[in-house]
Amino acid sequence: MALTARQQEIIDFITHYRQQQGIPPSRREIQKHFGFKSVAAVAGHLRLIEQKGALTRTSGIARGLRLTNDINTELGSIPIYGAIPAGPSSPQTQSDEGCVRVDLESLGLPKGIRTFALRVRGDSMINAGILDKDIVILEFKAPFDGAIVAALVDGETTLKRYVVQNNKPYLKAENPRHRNILPAQELIVQGVMVALLRKES
């Protein structure tokens, strides 16, 4: 069944967003981009696109959109290395909390990717769609401007957006109640976020 012009525009936006950000857009980001009156309107469009076979949505996974007609499940085990503050940075020791089993394809992750997971603690990234108790999946790779990263800044860990301004990086909070973090001495990026998991209530 053919897509309407609007449905194709949504598909194109999801594709472009993932290419730029490394993760699919949230429903609210789709709403904002197209000027829909509500998130429910976005859900309606996504449901119709899914019915036409151009999109799959994974239950229980935030941003769980995948543009494909062919569902081939490839499960992977990603180690959980404890929690990370999404608020003021704080001393944090990594701990092994086992693994989370995920459908790699539904997350848009290639087989063999080097990843780890952290549980989110705090609300400094809510405007990026990352909530307290979410699980972020991160890839071991160099950061890029605008990426969401797990970072060690002056000996303390935090989850923030990595921003480069005047050739100097800093960590941006996605909640106006929290301050941005400028490293005094050291900023080490431990991983770049590539996917987000959310337990359904």
Q: What residues are annotated to the active site?
A: 124, 160
Work out the burial of residue 152: count CB atoms within 10 Å of its CB; fewer than 13 is exposed, 13-18 middle, 19 or more buried: middle
Between strands 75-85 and 115-121, the pairing is parallel
What is the C-alpha R_g of the chain?
17
Distance CA 121, CA 132 (A): 5
Distance CA 135, CA 69 (A): 27
Residue (of 61, 42, 90) closest to 199 by Cα position: 61
Distance CA 91, CA 167 (A): 27
Quote the tokens at residue 118. Answer: 């952290």
- Can you tell me which residue has the tokens 């609007």? 6
Task: Reduce the DSSP state of residue 82 to 3 states and report it.
Answer: strand
Phi, psi dihedral angles at 88 (to 5 degrees)? -60, 145
Distance CA 56, CA 50 (A): 6
